[in-house]
């Protein structure tokens, strides 16, 4: 099932030690690029329905030699069926793949007419970095504006980043970091925080207007209490609309946190006359202007509390200045409401996310439906929600005119790219015909993937908030039961959907069985499930993960003497709790940036509110509290550190040196204590220049290698 010794050469020229079979398998899987984005360009048009579509597919490719992830481009030309045609299938006309590295291109956007292209480019050399705004017209570079001295770095992330044209194509707008203060400026020493994990160098963003006709940019003044993001032109190109994140009294980490103080604002084109469009709400994010320009859609949910909520979809009407709820927060899924629809779980809408059919506007979004990623269509008039996908797990890239582009994958299959053509509408339901238009070349890894099977199970029949994605080799020895790796996810209010994971696929190929546990508190199961964990963290989900592990033993599926627990972040929190509360159950434990002492974390993390909320303590984002002795006592009692003296399980601890979410201080304290105790094997690895996710290529390679070796040492090498 694993790759052969000769199937791939992975040994570095300067490394005399040959890779293990497991690491060779991981590196071979890592050669497969994954879909990171899609841009579409209309080649021929018929009204609002292009007949030929040029698709720029952006792929993320690991470069194992240089130890980095690169963005490369593939071009597809697709013929679309014309409206009313009996032929409803899209056809790929040409597919060309040259490994063109996007390199210094930060963002790009096609103009509404399709004739112009705007590119934000950042060029680095020995003398430093220079930033340019390029305007291309019908394939020719017409303007290149040096903006190096106008502002700081361009923003391209999904939370703040934006690059939008005005409909008349005379202006464009984007987001950048404000210009660095002059050395003589007395404010240069003022403390200005960053936005935490993955946003460390983002501090004060500004809106930048590109005047296409005059070949210049204008940086709008900063706003006193908010920082802008996701800016675009309002109806008729007369205003700017954007998200504004509160910067007072402090910056809170925003990565994977949708419970922040944020609103939707509107200004004139010069940044004056600021209006808070969602003043009645504490949280409103991801504004999107419908094609008719009559309404603005956005998400809203409560603040503080859990970091991820079921969101409601709301709509703002420009003519009446009124708001309404299109899709409410779903507390408990029911067959009587939208066929068991569990609610919306989506950080940001796609930048192009509307379909118009028979004069009806539909918002197309990505969400999770229990343990599956899905693509949903929402009728903005009726609020009807429709799941457009079937088997596998889906990710949405773009929805425009009458087509949708998304990818579909599974735990034993790399994602493939699909285009869905909307061909009909009846009984408040869209008819969408899906066609696969691109797939990765998996010939070399097919022998690995073909020997993996998976299913979603419910280990406790009367607990509908608990699901396990069960991934295993499809052939196991009748005489020898396989070892089990139990993997609770982080968050805790997140979810692992049924997608491929390189590390898990590698472990399956070596003969392990993996149980990915989506416990109570996971997203995709209704808001009541999320709320059920608040105040019970460290107890409820720990018991459910333990019950899930016991399920596999009780059903004779695994070797009861070879059970391993492995998790990161809150998954590491659960793992540490398990080896403290069930010290003789687990043969080995792997923890990645785990939460070990909530009280210690509360004073150094970018999300201090998490430390209060998860154990049921109040926290005000506008008046942040300090940790009182009584608070610390409760935090300590609910933390794994409370049971550290009971730990017997050999443990591999993996930490990121730049982790802002769960800084490694408490991880090292855990390590030092067990080392001093002397009767527990503890191994610690720290990965430099790596954050909370441990997702650098270097951390992936060396992390996979050490995990494989550690597990083989503890349970023996599998045949």
- The pLDDT tens digits for 656-698 are 999 999 999 999 999 999 999 999 999 999 999 999 999 999 9
Using the predicted structure, report yes or no on whether residue 251 has a pLDDT greater than 50.
yes
Tokens of 332: 């408990």
Q: How confident is the model at residue 46 (pLDDT cuts 50, 70, 90)?
A: very low
CA angle 350, 353, 356 (to 5 degrees): 175
Tokens of 135: 């305007």
Alpha-carbon distance of 270 to 676, in angstroms, equals 63
Using the predicted structure, report yes or no on whether residue 304 has a pLDDT greater than 90.
no
How much is the pTM?
A: 0.94
Using the predicted structure, report yes or no on whether residue 9 has a pLDDT greater than 80.
no
Nearest to 226 by CA among 205, 246, 252: 246
Q: How confident is the model at residue 10 (pLDDT cuts 50, 70, 90)?
A: very low
Count of CB atoms situated within 10 Å of the CB of 344: 26
Q: How far is CA 244 from CA 302, 475, 509, 631, in A?
A: 16, 53, 47, 32
Q: How far is CA 222 from CA 204, 248, 270, 272, 718, in A?
A: 8, 14, 11, 11, 60
Quote the pLDDT of residue 49.
55
Using the predicted structure, report yes or no on whether residue 125 has a pLDDT greater than 90.
no
Alpha-carbon distance of 635 to 597, in angstroms, equals 7
The answer to whether 686 touches 706, Cβ cutoff 8 Å, is: no
**What b/e readout covers 258-273, taking b as 16+ CB neighbours within 10 angstroms?**
bbbbbbbbbbebebee
Tell me the per-residue pLDDT of 154-188, one tens digit each, with 9 for 90 and over: 999 999 999 999 999 999 999 999 999 887 888 88
Mean pLDDT of the chain: 93
Using the predicted structure, report yes or no on whether residue 98 has a pLDDT greater than 80.
no
Catalytic residue among 413, 548, 692, 696: 692
- Residue 692 annotated as catalytic: yes
Strands of 49-63's sheet in order across: 34-46, 49-63, 68-79, 91-101
The answer to whether 351 touches 287, Cβ cutoff 8 Å, is: no
Quote the pLDDT of residue 195.
97
pLDDT (average), residues 503-523: 98
Catalytic residue among 569, 575, 613, 696: 569
Tokens of 206: 């500004």
Nearest to 207 by CA among 268, 146, 257: 268
- 166: phi then psi, degrees, rounded to nearest 5: -80, 155
For the chain, list the domains and their CATH numbers: 35-103+330-440 (no CATH), 104-183+190-273 (2.40.128), 454-597+639-714 (3.40.50.1820)
Alpha-carbon distance of 360 to 50, in angstroms, equals 19
- 180: phi then psi, degrees, rounded to nearest 5: -60, 145
pLDDT (average), residues 596-601: 97
Alpha-carbon distance of 487 to 360, in angstroms, equals 43
- Compute the CA torsion angle 621, 625, 627, 632 (nearest 10 deg): -60
Using the predicted structure, report yes or no on whether residue 15 has a pLDDT greater than 70.
no
Quote the pLDDT of residue 50.
61
Looking up tokens 């609770």 gives: 488
The answer to whether 38 touches 57, Cβ cutoff 8 Å, is: yes
The alpha helices in 21-95, defined as continuous H runs, are 21-29
- Compute the CA torsion angle 15, 21, 27, 32 (nearest 10 deg): 150
Quote the pLDDT of residue 8.
35
pLDDT (average), residues 209-235: 97
Q: How far is CA 620 from CA 192, 257, 458, 611, 632, in A?
A: 21, 15, 37, 12, 17
Catalytic residue among 413, 631, 659, 666: 659
The answer to whether 87 touches 81, Cβ cutoff 8 Å, is: yes
Nearest to 504 by CA among 513, 495, 492: 513
The answer to whether 402 touches 357, Cβ cutoff 8 Å, is: yes
Looking up tokens 């790796």 gives: 485
**What b/e readout covers 691-715, taking b as 16+ CB neighbours within 10 angstroms?**
bbbbebbebbbbbbbbbbebbeebb
- Residue 659 annotated as catalytic: yes
Quote the pLDDT of residue 508.
97
Using the predicted structure, report yes or no on whether residue 122 has a pLDDT greater than 60.
yes
The answer to whether 281 touches 300, Cβ cutoff 8 Å, is: yes
Q: Which helix (H) or strand (E) holds 719?
A: none
Terminal CA-CA length for the chain: 10
HSE-up of 152 (CA within 13 Å, CB side)? Answer: 15
Sign, CA dihedral 326-331-337-339, equals positive
- Residue 151 annotated as catalytic: no
Q: How confident is the model at residue 4 (pLDDT cuts 50, 70, 90)?
A: very low
The answer to whether 465 touches 520, Cβ cutoff 8 Å, is: yes
Tell me the per-residue pLDDT of 59-89, one tens digit each, with 9 for 90 and over: 999 999 999 999 999 999 999 887 666 677 7
pLDDT (average), residues 592-598: 98
Quote the pLDDT of residue 338.
82
Count of CB atoms situated within 10 Å of the CB of 324: 11
């Amino acid at each position: 099932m694993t790759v052969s010794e000769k199937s791939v050469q992975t040994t570095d020229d300067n490394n005399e030690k040959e890779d293990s079979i497991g690491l060779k398998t991981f590196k071979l899987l890592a050669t497969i690029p994954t879909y990171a984005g899609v841009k579409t360009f209309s080649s021929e048009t018929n009204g609002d329905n292009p007949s030929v579509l040029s698709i720029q597919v952006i792929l993320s490719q690991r470069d194992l030699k240089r130890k980095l992830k690169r963005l490369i481009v593939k071009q597809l030309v697709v013929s679309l069926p014309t409206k009313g045609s009996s032929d409803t299938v899209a056809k790929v006309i040409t597919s060309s793949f040259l490994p063109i590295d996007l390199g210094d291109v930060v963002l790009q956007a096609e103009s509404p007419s399709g004739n112009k292209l705007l590119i934000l480019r950042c060029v680095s050399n020995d003398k430093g970095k220079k930033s340019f705004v390029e305007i291309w017209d019908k394939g020719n570079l017409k303007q290149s504006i040096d903006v190096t001295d106008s502002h700081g770095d361009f923003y391209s992330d999904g939370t703040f980043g934006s690059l939008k044209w005005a409909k008349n194509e005379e202006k464009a707008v984007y987001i950048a970091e404000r210009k660095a203060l002059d050395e003589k400026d007395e404010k240069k020493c003022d403390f200005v925080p960053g936005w935490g994990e993955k946003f460390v160098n983002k501090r004060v963003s500004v809106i930048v207007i590109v005047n296409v006709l005059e070949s210049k940019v204008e940086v709008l003044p900063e706003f006193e209490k908010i920082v802008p993001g996701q800016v675009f032109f309002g109806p008729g190109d007369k205003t700017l609309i954007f998200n504004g994140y509160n910067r007072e009294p402090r910056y809170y980490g925003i990565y994977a946190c949708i419970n922040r103080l944020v609103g939707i604002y509107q200004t004139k084109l010069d940044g004056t006359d600021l209006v808070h469009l969602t003043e009645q709400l504490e949280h409103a994010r991801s504004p999107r202007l419908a094609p008719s320009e009559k309404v603005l859609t956005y998400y809203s949910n409560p603040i503080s509390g859990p970091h991820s909520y079921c969101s409601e979809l709301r709509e703002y009407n420009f003519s009446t200045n009124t708001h309404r709820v299109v899709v409410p927060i779903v507390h408990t899924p029911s067959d009587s409401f939208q066929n068991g629809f569990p609610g919306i779980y989506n950080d940001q809408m796609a930048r192009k996310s509307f379909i118009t059919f028979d004069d009806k506007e539909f918002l197309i979004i990505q969400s999770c439906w229990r343990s599956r990623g899905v693509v949903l269509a929402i009728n903005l008039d009726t609020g009807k929600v429709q799941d457009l996908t079937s088997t596998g797990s889906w990710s949405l890239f773009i929805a425009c005119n009458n087509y949708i582009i998304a990818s579909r994958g599974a735990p034993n299959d790399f994602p493939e790219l699909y285009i869905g053509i909307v061909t009909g509408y009846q009984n408040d339901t869209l008819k969408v015909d899906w066609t696969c238009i691109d797939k990765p070349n998996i010939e070399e890894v097919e022998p690995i993937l073909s020997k993996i099977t998976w299913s979603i199970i419910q280990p406790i029949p009367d607990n509908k908030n608990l699901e396990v994605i069960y991934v295993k080799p499809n052939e196991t020895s009748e005489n020898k039961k396989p070892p089990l790796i139990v993997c609770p996810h982080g968050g805790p209010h997140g979810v692992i959907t049924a997608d491929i994971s390189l590390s898990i696929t590698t472990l399956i190929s070596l003969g392990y069985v993996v149980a990915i546990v989506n416990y109570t508190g996971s997203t995709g199961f209704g808001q009541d499930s999320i709320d059920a964990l608040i105040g019970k963290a460290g107890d409820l989900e720990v018991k459910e993960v333990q019950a899930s592990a016991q399920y596999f033993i009780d059903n004779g599926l695994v070797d009861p003497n070879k059970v391993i627990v492995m998790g990161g972040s809150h998954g590491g929190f659960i793992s540490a709790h398990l080896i403290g509360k069930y010290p003789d159950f687990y043969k080995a434990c792997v923890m990645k940036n785990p939460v070990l002492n909530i009280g210690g974390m509360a004073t150094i993390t970018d999300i201090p509110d998490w430390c209060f909320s998860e154990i049921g303590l109040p926290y005000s984002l506008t008046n942040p509290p300090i940790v009182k002795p009584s608070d610390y006592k409760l935090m300590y009692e609910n933390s794994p550190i409370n049971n550290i003296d009971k730990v017997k399980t050999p443990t591999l601890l993996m930490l990121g040196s730049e982790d802002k979410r769960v800084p490694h201080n408490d991880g090292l304290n855990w390590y030092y204590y067990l080392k001093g105790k002397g009767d527990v094997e503890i191994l610690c690895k720290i990965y430099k220049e790596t954050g909370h996710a441990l997702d650098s290529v270097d951390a992936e390679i060396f992390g996979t290698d050490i995990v494989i070796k550690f597990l083989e040492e503890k349970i023996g090498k599998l045949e």
